[in-house]
Amino acid sequence: MSAAADPPHQHAELLSSLGSAADKYPKPEGVVFSYGTAGFRTLANRLPSVVFRAALLAVLRSKRLEGAAIGIMITASHNPEPDNGVKLVDPAGEMLDQSWEAHATALANCPSTDSLISTFTTLAAHLHVDLSKPASIIYARDTRPSGPALIEALRGALSVFKGNLKVVDLDVTTTPVLHYVVKATNDKSGTYGAPTEDGYMEKMAEAFKVLMGSRGPLQPLFVDCANGVGALGLAKLSKHIASTLPLTPLNDAIGTAGALNSQCGADFVKTKQALPPSIASSGILAQDGARACSLDGDADRLVYYYLQDKKKFRLLDGDKIAVMVAMFIRDLLKKAKLVEGDDALEVGAVQTAYANGSSTKYLNARGVPVRCVPTGVKYLHHAAQNFDIGVYFEANGHGTVLFSPSTISALQSATPHSPDEANAIKNLLALSNLINQAVGDALSDMLLVEVVLAHRGWGAPEWDAGYEDLPNRLLKVEVPDRMMFQTTDAERKLSHPAGLQDLIDDAVRKVDMGRSFVRPSGTEDCVRVYAEAKTSPEVESLASNVSDLVKHASGMTSQ
Ligand SMILES: CC(=O)N[C@H]1[C@@H](OP(=O)(O)O)O[C@H](CO)[C@@H](O)[C@@H]1O
Ligand SMILES: [Mg+2]
């Protein structure tokens, strides 16, 4: 009989230490946990048992995958400071395989230590995990005050596996750094880069220098760090590139109680469509040519903005980044003579339903194929892998550009026939090193944006001029049971509750160029309503009508 299918007695010692360790982290009563869009995310004080159990699953997964390193990130990204979360990272640096999400949910919801042990052993058997195999875990946390206690819970789980486990603690760092280190650790060819934060910064800085050539120094860039961990990453990156791109950190007050993501950061700017008040009052964006960007609380989202005519706030979000980058890469492929014939390489874009309609139209009109997938990086990432070069961004600024392995080989072995062709190929390869291939990274994306602007000779207004966003509105509706709202067609339509979609369609028809959809959030206890239309008054009325329909369908209003 194999160890995987063996009865628990073979691992009696392991299970008994698991039992004593788990007793310290009982599941809070009356809470149902679910591994959502970005792992488990809720109020931090509910999470110790969840983190403990997520770490158990990470060890199972690593053992199942012959000891490949699995990542564990403790963060709640852009959520308010009292929240926290935990998500697992697969060996290639990607999000946890979807088929394992249900196992994470099952472990998190075991009501007692006994049921946890029995679920753990059942899972090990069912998933063919040989518990005697070695495992490897890499973990990190963001700057939240609740982080250290959750790391204790994580260590409590790892301690159960004693010597058969390799553990790397990255301490406080950004989510994309963790994803990079996991990918680099598992890269047996050793070509992806040194598996450390420094290795990552050096790799990015080197590629940035190749791409910038003799361009620069650029005008200083203001970077709103959401008072989070991005401030640390920015300071480290700055040491390598400040002579070409001077970076001025803003909202970098790590450790100030309540400051994280409060009135600042990428989510604030995108949702409010306004400057963080601290930046508005400082007047810095009224300087000639000034541009700024905001990161979120774990530095995997990025949005840019500037003041038109030194007055009017203009947002350059994930859609604007995706469009500019896709067109830039397409032009490089043209210069490299790689858009036609047998060795043609195709650049495509992946968006979600939240992408502004104008961005989709712009790309379609220029022959860039666009795919729409459900919300969540895992969906975008996988769809982007189907292109030779896949550009994916959520409108909120989370995204990256994936170069397929065959594209990299094709670029490496291409024979240029002119200095221009050689230069374009060199730049494409440098882009593949600059851009995080595991997950979206605000810092890497920021360098990418700066490279494209420098090559085009553009400032923020020229970038912005490509297309005009349709006025849009994103609202949250807190309903008694968000799970009664079920979607289809990449979340663009509701299948349940029955009949609601028809009413939404009626509301949409009443406004010019209207579009609206409703979906339950995977990270917060609410339903999200998105609307866009030709004019601001129309979009406000559409968003409010659809929100009313949602409330009515939830039984919250009588008519
Ligand atoms: C409208 C929106 O921005 N939704 C966000 C948000 O997901 P929800 O499932 O909508 O809560 O958080 C996710 C994780 O960060 C991110 O991937 C996604 O884009
Ligand atoms: Mg984030």
Q: Rounded to whole angstroms, how far apart are CA atoms 314 and 322?
A: 17
498 and 391 in one domain?
A: no
Q: Residue 10: which pLDDT band, with cuts at 50, 70 and 90?
A: low
The domain containing residue 536 runs over which residues?
472-553
188 within some domain: no
Annotated binding site for substrate: 394-396, 519-523, 528
13 and 160 in one domain?
A: yes
User: Of 447, 464, 481, which residue is a domain's last?
Assistant: 464
340 within some domain: yes
| CATH number, domain with residue 286 | 3.40.120.10
Residue 4 confidence (pLDDT): 44
Give the residue-averaged pLDDT of 125-132.
96
Helix axes 48-64, 113-126, angle to 10 degrees: 20
Taking the centre of ligand 2 as the mean of its atom positions, its distance from the CA of residue 48, in whole angstroms, is 21
In the annotation, is 77 catalytic? yes
Distance, CA of 69 to chain centre: 20
- Higher local confidence (pLDDT), 522 or 10: 522
The C-alpha angle with vertex 216 and arms to 213 and 221, in degrees rounded to 5, equals 125
- DSSP assignment, residue 215? -
514 and 428 in one domain?
A: no
99 and 31 in one domain?
A: yes
User: Of 172, 204, 232, which residue is a domain's last?
Assistant: 172
Strand partners, 36: 39
17 within some domain: yes
Q: Note whether 500 and 517 are within 8 A (CB).
A: no
363 within some domain: yes
Q: Residue 525: which pLDDT band, with cuts at 50, 70 and 90?
A: confident
User: Of 287, 311, 335, which residue is a domain's last?
Assistant: 311
147-175: per-residue pLDDT in tens? 999 999 999 999 999 879 999 999 999 99
CB count in 10 Å sphere of residue 162: 10
| CATH number, domain with residue 457 | 3.40.120
| CATH number, domain with residue 493 | 3.30.310.50
356 and 267 in one domain?
A: no
Mapping DSSP to helix (H, G, I), strand (E, B) and coil, where does residue 412 land? helix
Annotated binding site: 77, 296, 298, 300, 394-396, 519-523, 528
ipTM: 0.98
Q: Who contacts 304 (Cβ-Cβ below 8 Å, separation ≥6)?
A: 291, 292, 293, 315, 316, 317, 320, 321, 449, 460, 463
Give the residue-averaged pLDDT of 378-402.
97
207 within some domain: no
180 within some domain: no
78 and 132 in one domain?
A: yes
- Is the confidence at residue 378, as pLDDT, over 80? yes
For residues 501-520, b (16+ Cβ closer than 10 Å) or e, as one string?
Answer: bebbeebbeebeebbbbbbb
Q: Which of 490, 482, 529, 478 is nearest to 508 (CA)?
A: 529
Q: Which of 397, 388, 557, 552 is nearest to 485 (CA)?
A: 552
Query: Which candidate in 49, 62, 77, 554 is catalytic?
Result: 77
Q: Which atom of ligand 1 is nearest to the CA of 526?
A: 11
468-498: per-residue pLDDT in tens? 999 999 999 999 999 999 999 999 999 999 9
Give the residue-averaged pLDDT of 406-429.
97
Residue to probe by mutation, ligand 1, list 94, 394, 491, most atoms within 8 Å of CB: 394
Taking the centre of ligand 1 as the mean of its atom positions, its distance from the CA of residue 522, in whole angstroms, is 7
Query: Could you say which ligand is closest to the alpha carbon of residue 394?
Result: 1
Taking the centre of ligand 2 as the mean of its atom positions, its distance from the CA of residue 341, in whole angstroms, is 40
Residue 559 confidence (pLDDT): 54
335 and 388 in one domain?
A: yes
Q: How far apart are the first and last CA of the chain?
A: 64
Q: Which of 385, 452, 408 is nearest to 211 (CA)?
A: 452
166 and 22 in one domain?
A: yes
Alpha helix positions (H), 65-146: 101-108, 113-126
Annotated binding site for Mg(2+): 77, 296, 298, 300
Number of domains in the chain: 4
Protein residue closest via CA to atom 3 of ligand 1: 396
CA distances from 352 to 233, 363, 473 (A): 28, 14, 15
194 within some domain: no
Residue to probe by mutation, ligand 1, list 375, 382, 492, most atoms within 8 Å of CB: 375
Q: Which atom of ligand 1 is nearest to the CA of 270?
A: 3
Give the residue-averaged pLDDT of 44-48.
98
476 and 459 in one domain?
A: no
Ligand 1 cavity residues, CB under 6 Å: 37-38, 77, 354, 375-377, 394, 396, 398, 521-524, 528
Taking the centre of ligand 2 as the mean of its atom positions, its distance from the CA of residue 477, in whole angstroms, is 22
289-304: per-residue pLDDT in tens? 999 999 999 999 999 9
pTM of the model: 0.95
437 and 346 in one domain?
A: yes
Query: Could you say which ligand is closest to the alpha carbon of residue 294?
Result: 2
308-366: per-residue pLDDT in tens? 999 999 999 999 999 999 999 999 999 999 999 888 999 999 999 999 999 999 999 99
- DSSP assignment, residue 99? G
527 and 396 in one domain?
A: no
220-252: per-residue pLDDT in tens? 999 999 999 999 999 999 999 999 999 999 999
- Is the confidence at residue 504, as pLDDT, over 90? yes
18 and 166 in one domain?
A: yes
Q: Residue 109: which pLDDT band, with cuts at 50, 70 and 90?
A: very high
Q: Rounded to whole angstroms, how far apart are CA atoms 83 and 80?
A: 6
CA distances from 510 to 353, 513, 538, 541, 542 (A): 20, 9, 9, 10, 8
Which has the minimum average pLDDT: 6-10, 50-54, 260-264, 518-522? 6-10
186 within some domain: no
